[in-house]
Amino acid sequence: MPAPLRLSKHHGLGNDFLITLDPGRPLHADDAVAWCDRHTGIGADGLIRAVPAGANRWVWTLWNSDGSIPEVSGNGLRCLGQAIAMRENVEVATYEIETPGGLRTLEVTDHGRSVRVDMGPAAEGPGLSDRLASVGLDGARQASVDLGNPHLVIEVQDPAAIDLAVVGPAIEAGYPAGCNVEFVAVRDRRHIDLTVWERGAGITEACGSGACAATVAATDWGLADGDVTVSMPGGSARVTAGDTVLLTGPATHIAWVEVA
Residues contacting 154, CB < 8 A, separation 6+: 129, 132, 137, 140, 141, 142, 171, 181, 182, 183, 184
pLDDT at residue 1 in the model: 61
pLDDT in tens, 62-121: 999 999 999 999 999 999 999 999 999 999 999 999 999 999 999 999 888 999 999 999
**CATH fold of 123-243:** Diaminopimelate Epimerase; Chain A, domain 1 (3.10.310)
- CB-neighbour burial class of residue 50 (10 A; exposed 0-12, middle 13-18, buried 19+): buried
pTM: 0.96
Q: Which CATH architecture has domain 5-119+248-259?
A: Roll (3.10)
pLDDT at residue 111 in the model: 80
Whether 2 shows a pLDDT value over 80: the answer reads no
pLDDT in tens, 41-55: 999 999 999 999 999
- State mean pLDDT over 179-208: 98
> Which sequence spans correspond to the domains of the chain?
5-119+248-259, 123-243
pLDDT in tens, 212-228: 999 999 999 999 999 99
